[in-house]
Structure 1
Amino acid sequence: MDSPSSRSLLPVLADEYLRKVVTAPVYVGKIIDRKQTSRLVKWLSQTVPLGDLQHLKRVRSTAAGMEIILRPRRENDSDCVKTIKDVLGTDSTHAEGLCEDVVEVNVPQHAPLTRSQFESSNCIWPTQFHEDKLYGLPKLSATTSSLPKTKMTWNDT
């Protein structure tokens, strides 16, 4: 049997630090008047908060223009949702500056906890990332092969 002083410890991380990016559906509208972007973000943040998707940036810029998350898709939403009015209902009166058509897009469901998760999430939709300094493992990859190889000695004194 090994002596207590020759034991080595390996870090154990919770599953959420190692998981792949999971997505959730949201409704997205195309911004046709860029000057309305700030007002739209403010209005949607007040009337339809993102809830568990607060880690996402509300707006993304693409080659085709700017897009904004209108709201997360609900389980009871009809599959025929296609317009701003379908998604926002009576609140659509403030939707000036948005294209009438709406698309469903999958976005990262969870806030990224590691640099690797952030990079994967950011490829799907712009995401906010605040690296957790508590774990002291900057740039932790989603695989254990990149964990620090230093050994800790066990001290039974």
Structure 2
Amino acid sequence: MLEQVLPEAEVRPLETVNVYIATIEPKQTNQVIKFIRSKLLATQGLDHIKQIRKTTTDDGVIKLDVVLCQESAISIQDLDHQLEQAGLTSIVTPRVHGVPKYPPLTRNQFELWKSAWPTTFREDINRHPEISDKDEAVIMRHMWSAWNYAAEATSKGEVT
């Protein structure tokens, strides 16, 4: 019986990269998104994360957490300065948060990683095609032949 060995990328644990986020009121979304797109560097290699995460406070008020930019792109002092120039310091208070560094490749990764930050996930159904019993039998015959040839060559001293 063949056992599938998954690539490292499909079994790796969650790795995060730090980004600046801010919690805002839903009515402030357009203003903050315009600021992000015009003044801050786009997040590099993080196309799999969603820019906005909806949250609800204990008293039922809806808030939005918005990704501003990667922490490595700008210092907090420079970010605060940009916010001050845009007149957003009263509504945007940046803080650091870890988001998934890589896109999830499996349903299991997606389910585990989405708790760190919402991500997009498109399951590739062709990623690991099923091997039929007939194909497995052919593969096993070839493997046994290779094993036998190697054992025979070793016994003759042709391979060390």
Q: Is the TM value for this pair above 0.5?
A: yes
Length-normalised TM-score, structure 2:
0.67
Alignment of 1:27 onto 2:20: yes
C-alpha distance in 2 between matches for 1:102 and 1:124: 17
State the shift of 1:120 in Å. 1.2
Picking from 37, 40, 50, the partner of 2:43 is 50
Calculate percent identity across the aligned residue pairs: 26
Aligned to 2:69: 71
SS at match of 2:137: coil
Residues 54-112 of structure 1 deviation map (CA, whole Å, 9 limit, x = unaligned): 100001111232110001111884xxx3xxx6426436644649724211111111100
C-alpha distance in 1 between matches for 2:4 and 2:87: 50
Picking from 138, 143, 146, the partner of 1:154 is 138
Counterpart amino acid of residue 113 in structure 1:
L
Residues 129-153 of structure 1 deviation map (CA, whole Å, 9 limit, x = unaligned): 011122247xxxxxxxxxx898622
Aligned to 2:111: 119
Q: How many residues align?
A: 133
Alignment of 1:90 onto 2:92: no
C-alpha distance in 2 between matches for 1:52 and 1:131: 19
Length-normalised TM-score, structure 1:
0.68
**8 Å contact from structure 1 (residues 60, 66) kept in 2:** yes
Larger relative contact order (Cα-Cα within 8 Å, sequence gap ≥ 6): 1
**8 Å contact from structure 2 (residues 41, 73) kept in 1:** no
Root mean square deviation of aligned Cα: 3.1
Alignment of 1:132 onto 2:116: no
State the shift of 1:9 in Å. 3.1
* Structure 1 unmatched runs, 5+: 1-7, 138-147
